[in-house]
Structure 1
Amino acid sequence: MAKLELHFLLLVVLVLISVHYKPVMADSIAGTSFIKSSCRATSYPALCVHSLSSYATKIQQSDKQLAQAALSVSLARARSTSVFVSKMTKVSGMKPRERQAVKDCVENMGDTVDQLGKSIQELGRVSRRAKKSHDFMWHMSNVQTWVSAALTDESTCVDGFGEHAMDGDVKGAIKSRVVSVSKVTSNALALVNRFAARHRAATATTSMP
């Protein structure tokens, strides 16, 4: 009898788990499909899908959530890289030019973190249900400007190590990390632009007589 009750209880638990997780799984599958489709608009689609897949349930099929997640990924990597580059200033044995390039990169990555942080906050103020389309586009213009500036700062950091005289391990380590950040930032900008373009298209359609 006790064995039967245990089997029954186990069955009830499994049913409850199934009922609870089915919607979650459905959201995750839909979100993953949406991410894969949207990432085709980026320069690094495979990286885009890989870096955003864990956000699938939250993103579902929202262009805004997709752009927000992409910016969050970029900011997290930029912060990590900024800390790493700062530590590199303490490495001994660097050539003067290389040390100066590292210091410049610290500043560049600090600016990148600030700009990505502001872009996330600004995107959070965007509403697709805004009464005036120009309000939406004003916010989006700010986001695009800051993400573009972050991408420029990342490129400036990498360019600072472009001289042939700089061939040390520090150069390679920093360039590798910053290039990785610039790729996810590029993807984030593409998804931000996609969000803005789709909103414009939808607004134009609804305003047609």
Structure 2
Amino acid sequence: MSQFIFSLTLVFLGFLASTNIQKTAATPPSYSQNHKTFVKTACNSTTYPDKCYKSLSSYSSTIKSNPIKLCTTALSVNVKFAKEATSVVSKLLRSSQKTLAGRRNKMLPETLILKDCLEEMKDTIVELRQAITEMKTLHDGDSVAEHITNVRTWVSSALTDEGTCTDGFEEVKVNKKTKKKVTKVVDELARTTSNSLALITNLRF
């Protein structure tokens, strides 16, 4: 009888051990989850929270729970969107210029607008990079408020340039397909920039 009880005990202990192993394997690392929660909570304060979290959640292990890294990463992602928008506008401009071939002394309205938009996109990239450079100075501890103000100014300027680009397509009649493509890519960029600005505005020191 005692042998039977002993064997039953061993089986029960083995079952408990197996259950614990399964639970451990199924439980995600708490640190990783906490970092994603930090990013999600920060994104909830932005204008486009879902877009914010979607673009930044994959960087949560790098961001951890550091607000400065969060903002710097957001700006870096912002630059990628700006480059994509610049590429789209640049291709459309080249296509428009080819259409002009053989038309002496005649300039299509959309060609001029695309040229202006391309310059705005290039300015946006410069301004966002300046903001990233300024963000790095926050670690120094001197004149933090001044540096944050400078970062906001750079990002605000980028947002203004993006708006200037799309405004041009509202003022002059252009090819509908061209307008749709530019509006779509620049609006996506503007949402990203708006989110970056919100994250920076929420920095507290």
* TM-score normalised over the length of structure 1: 0.77
Q: How does 1:64-83 map to 2 (within 5 A)?
A: 64-83=68-87
Please tell me whether the aligned partners of residues 109 and 172 of structure 2 are also in contact (alpha carbons under 8 angstroms). no
CA distance in 1, matches of 2:159, 2:176: 24
RMSD: 2.2
SS where residue 173 of structure 2 aligns? coil
The aligned residue for residue 116 of structure 1 is 128
Structure 1 unmatched ranges of 5 or more: 1-14, 200-209
* TM-score normalised over the length of structure 2: 0.78
Please tell me whether the aligned partners of residues 155 and 197 of structure 2 are also in contact (alpha carbons under 8 angstroms). yes
| 182-191 vs 76-85, greater mean Cα deviation | 76-85
CA distance in 2, matches of 1:191, 1:142: 14
The aligned residue for residue 43 of structure 2 is 39
Q: How does 1:8-157 map to 2 (within 5 A)?
A: 25-92=29-96, 93=99, 96-127=108-139, 130=141, 132=142, 135-157=143-165
CA distance in 1, matches of 2:33, 2:174: 47
Per the TM alignment, residue 167 of structure 1 is displaced from its structure 2 partner at its CA by 4.2
User: Structure 1 vs Structure 2: percent identity of aligned residues?
Assistant: 36
Structure 2 unmatched ranges of 5 or more: 1-20, 101-106
| 166-175 vs 110-119, greater mean Cα deviation | 166-175
Runs of 4+ in 1 over 6 A off after TM superposition: none
CA-to-partner distance for each residue in 1:59-83, whole Å, 9 max, x for gaps?
1111111111111111111012112
Asked if 1:187 is matched to 2:199, the reply is no
Please tell me whether the aligned partners of residues 110 and 175 of structure 2 are also in contact (alpha carbons under 8 angstroms). no
Please tell me whether the aligned partners of residues 27 and 56 of structure 1 are also in contact (alpha carbons under 8 angstroms). no
Aligned length: 174
Q: Which amino acid aligns with 2:65?
A: Q
Structure number with bigger Rg: 2
Please tell me whether the aligned partners of residues 109 and 153 of structure 1 are also in contact (alpha carbons under 8 angstroms). yes
Per the TM alignment, residue 137 of structure 1 is displaced from its structure 2 partner at its CA by 1.0
SS where residue 94 of structure 2 aligns? coil
| 158-167 vs 52-61, greater mean Cα deviation | 158-167
